[in-house]
Amino acid sequence: MDDVKGSAGLPATVVFRLGTLGALAGDRFAEKIEVYDLKVKHVGLMTVLSLGPAVSQQDLAAKMGVAPSLVVSLADHLETLGAVQRVRDPQDRRRQVLTLTAHGRDLLDKCATEARALDEEFTAALAPDQVAALRQALSVLSAEAGLP
């Protein structure tokens, strides 16, 4: 039987460590972006918008793996901030297409600056080659999961 406190226990698993560190990183990132009246999911939506052409709220929900009602709520807040703009799709007037505004791109840049500063804090105990290996491993895992 595995010793729970030993190397085979739950704390040694990748999933547990990524989950724990991810929660910690997410909380710290949320604190940093709160000053912009944003939550992590707002930044996620803006990131998806920044990666390609304007998309419908329905398409965004599918890409983000969330309920369409959540996208509507997030977009409502971002529209209030002037970060996104809703436009009727000329191909299908029933659909609304979201685009990132210049202010939205500015907010996203500020969030990226905050994230890079937190990256430095989180990886300060690692050697440069370890940081590079971590980034590479996370890129592979993210791509495999269909994440940006």
**pLDDT for 103-121, tens place per residue?**
999 999 999 999 999 999 9
Report the predicted TM-score, pTM, of the whole model to 2 decimal places: 0.85
Q: Report helix, strand or coil for 88.
A: strand
Residue 75 CA to residue 129 CA, distance in Å, equals 39
Confirm if 45 and 65 have CB atoms less than 8 A apart: no
Confirm if 75 and 61 have CB atoms less than 8 A apart: no
pLDDT digits (tens, 9 = 90+) for 61-82: 888 889 989 999 999 999 999 9
Output the CA torsion 47→53→54→59 (10° steps). Answer: -80
Q: What percent of the chain shows pLDDT beyond 70?
A: 95
Q: What is the mean pLDDT of residues 79-104?
A: 90
The amino acid present at 92, given as its one-letter code, is D
Domain 37-144: give its CATH code. Answer: 1.10.10.10
The amino acid present at 141, given as its one-letter code, is L
> Is the per-residue pLDDT at 6 higher than 80?
no
For residue 24, what pLDDT band results from cuts at 50, 70 and 90?
very high
Structure confidence at residue 37 (pLDDT): 97
Pairing assessment for the beta strands 55-56 and 92-100 based on DSSP bridges? antiparallel
Confirm if 84 and 98 have CB atoms less than 8 A apart: yes
Own/partner pairs for 54-57, CB < 8 Å, 24+ apart? 54/87, 54/97, 54/98, 54/99, 55/97, 55/98, 56/89, 56/95, 56/96, 56/97, 56/98, 57/95, 57/96, 57/98
